[in-house]
Amino acid sequence: MRFVLTVILTAMLSACLAERAPLVATDIVVPKPRPGTQMTAGYLTLRNNTTQTITITQVSSPEFESVEMHESVLEDGVARMRPLRDLTIRAGQSVQLEPGGKHLMLTRPVGEIEATTLEFYNSEAVMLTVNVTLTD
């Protein structure tokens, strides 16, 4: 019984902490780079729990030489990839990075990697660090 209570309380506590974090990432998907390529994409939902706009100006990963924010757009039947200078998430809102839309482009992994860490920066400091297991 005590064990069950501890589990429930821990779950509630971590839920509260997650809720209070200013920026929360969910639905994170980073496929392993496809054979023959040195790159992959990153998809996730970012939620801003604060009362102010959050602007992500840079994303980095120790396991990839570069991480860029991009957006795929379809114009007159032509697929284009636009670099995004920053990513704005309004107070209390979420932004989705999803296939066919905004996404991260991760290039040149350090080797055969199974997992990675993504660091999201605003103009001053790291806002959020997430650990991701790469999918097949």
Partner 1 sequence: MGPKNIFIAIVAVIAIGTGAWFSSRLLLPPPALQTATVLPAPGELPEFSLLDHNGQAIGRDVFDGHWSLVFFGFTRCPDICPLTLQVLSNANMQLADKGQKPLPRIVLVSVDPERDTPEIMQQYVAYFGDDILGVTGELEELRKLTRGLGIFFEKAVLDGDNYSINHSAVVLVINPDGRLHALFGAPHLAENYVHDLPLIMARR
**9 φ, ψ (degrees, to nearest 5):** -65, -40
Q: Binding partner 1 by CB under 8 A: which of 25, 70, 84, 132?
A: 70
Q: Which is nearer to partner 1, 54 or 118 (CB)?
A: 118
Q: Which is nearer to partner 1, 24 or 39 (CB)?
A: 39
Q: Which is nearer to partner 1, 5 or 78 (CB)?
A: 78
Q: Binding partner 1 by CB under 8 A: which of 7, 15, 20, 31?
A: 31
Contact 56, 86 (CB under 8 A): yes
Asked if 111 touches partner 1 (CB under 8 A), the answer is no
Instruction: Map residues 1-30 to x or -, x wherever contact with partner 1 holds by CB under 8 A.
Output: ------------------------------
Interface with partner 1: number of residues (CB under 8 A): 24
What does R_g of the chain's alpha carbons equal in angstroms? 17
* Rounded CA separation 102/104 (Å): 7
Distances in Å between the Cα of 46 and the Cα atoms of 6, 79, 86, 87, 97 are 29, 25, 13, 10, 8
Q: Which is nearer to partner 1, 49 or 96 (CB)?
A: 96
Asked if 99 touches partner 1 (CB under 8 A), the answer is yes
